[in-house]
Chain A
Amino acid sequence: MFSKVLFGRFVPTNSVIHKLDPRAKLVLSMYFIVIIFFANSWQTYAWLAAFTLGTILLTKVPLGFFWDGVRPLIFIIVLTVILQIFFSSGGHVYWQWGILSITQFGLINGAYIFCRFVLIICMSTVLTLTTQPLMIADAVESLLKPLTKIKVPVYELALMLSIALRFVPTLMDESQKIMNAQRARGVNFGTGSLWKRVKSLIPILIPLFISAFNRAEDLATAMEARGYSGGEGRTKYRLLHWHTADSVACFVMVAATIILLTLRYFT
């Protein structure tokens, strides 16, 4: 499903990771993706992999969901790894044909790239599996708050994001209904030439756009009736709370970084 591709699927297992402040999770997972690029050896990758696995286990989410996160990207990963293997040079040459070669460094680089990809995907999947999209939106709003000083409409953007998230399932439903209605009128999706397939989307897209505009108009009226006159001065029902656990998580991440750097520079 579309929403699944966009936001992953939230799995409520109520683990320690689930309970962390979304700001902590967002910043820390971004931070982790950055430090992955400091890894340069078997030891460093092994350490990061162990750390990631530990985090995954802490989420209590079945491992299958993480595999679901990797699977859609497997083609890109494999392609990148293959290019890396064939086009990098150095070390012992095992095989060569024109500009293509398999070398010792090529294989090592390929393996590293592979690890890097999997680690990045797994860690961002940890974020989406343990945090509701809405909470991520809240975190983004909270983190971007300083930008209001330079007249960036952060509140409005956050409200837009939250409304967009709220309407994803509604519009998915709607498109399913419209698709069924047009199939009942003889439209055949996914068969025939490319042109025919593109053309068969028109009877879906036009009604979907019209309905989305109608909904938007209704929603705007309803918001106005409920006193919405812009983001200024609005109070917030949903507050984020920074707990000790969040500070601990940050501390753990710093410690992990120190171990990583030690492994990189002193072994």
Chain B
Amino acid sequence: MNNIISVQNAIFSYPGNDIHVLNDISFDVSQGEWVAIIGHNGSGKSTLAKAIDGLLSLDSGQVVVDGLELNENTVWDVRSKIGFVFQNPDNQFVGATVADDVAFGLENRHVDHATMVAKVDEALKLVRMDKYADREPAGLSGGQKQRVALAGVIAMQPKIVILDEATSMLDPQGRQEVIELLHELKQRYKFTVLTITHDIDETALADRLFVIDDGSLISSGEPEKILSDSKMLLEKGLDLPLGEHIKHDLKELKIEVPEEYMNSSQVVNWLCQQLSSME
């Protein structure tokens, strides 16, 4: 498989501060992969995402996106391959109306008017916001605004989509809508996904999981492997997924539980089997 993102020895610190927000991080992401990045607030996750998009420049290290080495000359080309959805729904809504906002990226890329109208239309239909095309952002819910942001991303047909805690300011319903939508769009367009999230249940959807702590990549691998390491997750201030949480609690109560990762319905099934086998 081709590496679509490759980060080598990334080091970054904010001006006037010695602390390395990114402390020698290296990893590769292959084409079409879904990678979730977890870590507590201030661990450097968002900084990493911004560095990949050239929104801040590394002190040292290298970022290669789809074969292009990120530098001053390539930064706009790199950005054209990446769609970015940020955390705060309000602060990334540039357009005066929903349609205007979706069009913003297309206008920047000098797309002609007829193509633009068609693309805006199509993108809004895909995120099921076409009925709101002329609405102003003030009347929309957080979830709707993030769907518009996704439409803006889709209209550009990027190879990579990065979501930087894009669901963390939404209510449960909005969160669900955005995640489901992302899933649907990923299946359709096969783009590579990088999500930064606190929602541990959301990470179970990923192909691979990165755990970042104090600017270092401390663990990476399949979600099953990472999420069953309850000791590490708790130490790093993270949540346990539901199934593992129950297993962890039962283990504390001296009940023997299987070592391998189980999601909640697997745990329920296992428990029910244990109960019926005793009768």
Contact = CB atoms under 8 A, between A and B. Distances in A.
Interface of A: 134, 162-163, 165-166, 169-170, 173, 214-215, 218-219, 221-229, 233-239
Nearest to B88: A218
Contacts of B103: 237-238
B80 interface: yes
A237 B112 contact: no
B108 A236 contact: no
Contacts of A229: 76, 108
A170 B105 contact: no
Contacts of A162: 95-96, 100
A226 B109 CA distance: 9
Contact of A237 (B79, B80, B93, B107): B107
B136 interface: yes
A59 B150 CA distance: 38
A223 B117 CA distance: 20
Contacts of A170: 90, 137-138
B96 A222 contact: no
Interface in B97-111: 97, 99-100, 103-111
11 contacts: A162-B96, A162-B100, A169-B138, A226-B84, A226-B108, A227-B156, A233-B110, A234-B108, A236-B113, A237-B107, A237-B120
Contact of A234 (B84, B97, B110, B138): B110
Nearest to B111: A235
B86 A222 contact: yes
A228 B104 contact: yes
User: Interface majority SS on B: helix, strand, loop or mixed?
Assistant: helix
Contacts of B91: 214-215, 218-219, 222
Given A162-B100, A228-B104, A237-B103, 7 more contacts: A165-B96, A170-B90, A221-B86, A222-B86, A234-B107, A235-B107, A237-B99
B82 interface: yes
Contacts, number: 93
Contacts of B116: 235, 237
A57 B138 CA distance: 30
B125 interface: no
Nearest to B116: A237
Given A221-B50, A221-B55, A237-B100, A227 B92 contact: no
B165 interface: no
Interface string B190-210: 000000000000000000000
A138 to B, nearest CB: 9
B182 interface: no
Specify which of A173, A226, A229 lies most central, judged by the most chain B CB atoms within 10 Å of its CB.
A226
A85 B38 CA distance: 75
A47 B105 CA distance: 50
Given A169-B138, A233-B110, A235-B113, A226 B104 contact: yes
A259 to B, nearest CB: 38
Contact of A225 (B82, B99, B109, B113): B82
Contacts of B84: 222, 225-226
Nearest to B105: A226
A173 to B, nearest CB: 8
B108 A227 contact: yes
Interface string B114-147: 0011001000000000000000111000000000
The 4 lowest CB-CB distance pairs between A and B, nearest first, are A237-B103, A218-B91, A222-B92, A169-B138
B213 interface: no
Contact of A226 (B88, B96, B100, B152): B152
B108 A166 contact: no
B66 to A, nearest CB: 16
A233 B109 CA distance: 9
Contact of A218 (B79, B82, B92, B117): B92
Contacts of B33: none
B53 interface: yes
